[in-house]
Amino acid sequence: MNNVPAPDDLYKLRHSLAHVLAQAVLKLWPDTLITIGPPIDTGCYYDFLFSQPISENDFSKIEKEMKKIIYQKQTFRCDTLNVADAKKYWKTHKQRFKVELIEDLAKNDGVETVTHYANLGPKGEEVFVDLCRGGHVENFGEIPVDGFKIMSIAGAYWRGDEKREQLTRIYLAAFPSKAELDAHVKMLEEAAKVDHRKLGRSMSIFVLSDVVGPGLPMLAPNGAIIRQELEGWIREELKRRGYSFAYTPNIGRADLYKKSGHLSHFKDSIFPLMQADDAEYVLKPMNCPHHVEIYKSDARSYRDLPLRLAEFGTVYRYEKSGQVGGLTRVRGFTQDDAHLFMRPEQMEEEIEGILDLAFTIYRTLGFNDFVLRLSRRDPKNMEKYIGTPENWDKAEAALEKVLKKLKLPFIDGVGEAAFYGPKIDLIVKDVFGREWQLGTIPQVDYNMPERFDIHYTDSDGTQKRPIMMHRAIFGSFERFIGVLIEHFRGHFPLWLAPLQVAIIPVAQTHEDYAAEIALLLKKEGMRVISLPHTDSLGKRIREGETRRIPYLLVVGDKEMELKSVAVRNVKTKKQVVVTMKEFMEKLKVDVTERKLEASIG
């Protein structure tokens, strides 16, 4: 989630600090061009075009200047200007990006006036002005000088367009107190230690190759095991809940996506068209048009509904090469996708079923802290959407009704809807308190059934239009695995772990017993390796810990004699001696019940 709710005091604090940051930068580098500086969920950022490069070495200098500004307890004055006067002001001050913003507001939103927020110094003098909609502290004295910190700088293209100027984005962390800031910084330090890009390499989960291309990760055997376990689990759940499975090709005719609306409303995220057999084709950006064609391939009766079509479908979205990385921003990924076709009277029950499925999946994985967002259209920007206002009203009302019926708290996400329908987004917090939007559960769509002119025969013999729902619980397997790596700090639950047990014989004389244990575990379907005695015991234990193998079984003379194993729990670092029988029993329970924590150690 990028935007903090506007009325919030924290929003005002962070928004005000963006003004302080811009003012400080202009004081230090007066010829800098300023662009935009919004609050975000941990602070704020501001984008600048510097005449000379800056670096981390400049952070302390900027922070020092910011504190000077805060100590002045500057206040805000709001001025409303017509578009012509506002443009004249910024042209006079040689700030062309502000002129462009005003021109776009006038052209795209039809605004006739804009607001400037001026900062006033101790004597009431004007010291800084920014183009802004407001939402600030009364004066800078309300900002704790020890509650913010410049975190990083990054490159950012103006308007996200690679053909435009590359700006310098300064990120600022901002909190109401030093204690909260320190806790945030510590969390970031801890999270950096388990960055999925780092652990993904050390645990051999995925591979990135410049030869293959940016944003196209490959799951190595260990990563494939994690995905297979997730796939198998959700496949079981879906079969139990009445879903059928489909497979669709990775490309389709451009006409298919013109009909669905994706080619016009999603064009910047679609890979370039390919010409073949006198027709244009594209890499599949979405599975939904294919599923509609499957529905349309047969006559449907009201008795056939709901039809729940699921697919682990690979899709391709064009992301700028500078924006892709690891598993969380990719160009090719596989969704646990499904599309449900139903009669109007079945809609509430299907929404409830999707929510129940999502809660089951996420809670099993230890995501108990989450927020539901009802993502609606933006009434001020209707050209972004397809479909009639009446259908949008019905779809939004249906989702809201179920959320209220189930007494589920939710936030209102105006403008967060997809172009073809409103949806409920599930935003989860990981163990570090970071928010991730992972699944869509569900998205109501009246528009695609109309575009593809699909029907069912009702009980009275008339042709009726079904309602369609889109849903993806994981979102994409790749991104979800990336989040899980960090959420679990690499210590996957036993059932998900690529390797579940490593057997470590103390000496060569114990290798036969180690092989006997390995065979027994493999017969039970466990994923096991042996680390032979050729390396020292300490080195082999460290190897097992680095690879995050949940259980290390150390076997020596005593264990051979008692037919037992010394079990080292890699996550807790605890070691206990148990019989093989007890170990096997607890192992089976941990796996079959998909327990989050291991039962031994």
Catalytic residues: 288, 317, 335, 337, 339, 423, 470
In SS3 terms, 346-381 reads as HHHHHHHHHHHHHHHHHHHCCCCCEEEEEEECCCCC
**Segment holding 223, helix H or strand E:** helix 221-240
In SS3 terms, 23-43 reads as HHHHHHCCCCEECCCCEECCE
DSSP 165: P
274 pairs with which residues across the strands?
Answer: 281
Structure tokens at 169: 């984005």
DSSP 1: -
3-class SS of residue 590: helix
In SS3 terms, 473-542 reads as CCCCHHHHHHHHHHHCCCCCCCCCCCCCEEEEECCHHHHHHHHHHHHHHHHCCCCEEECCCCCCHHHHHH
**Segment holding 255, helix H or strand E:** helix 254-260
In SS3 terms, 37-75 reads as CCEECCEEEEEEECCCCCCHHHHHHHHHHHHHHHHCCCE
Q: In which residue are the tokens 């776009």 written?
A: 104
Q: Which residues contact 161 (CB under 8 A, 6 or more apart)?
A: none
Q: Are 316 and 283 in contact (CB under 8 A)?
A: yes
Q: Are 136 and 117 in contact (CB under 8 A)?
A: yes
Residue 419 neighbours by CB distance under 10 Å: 16
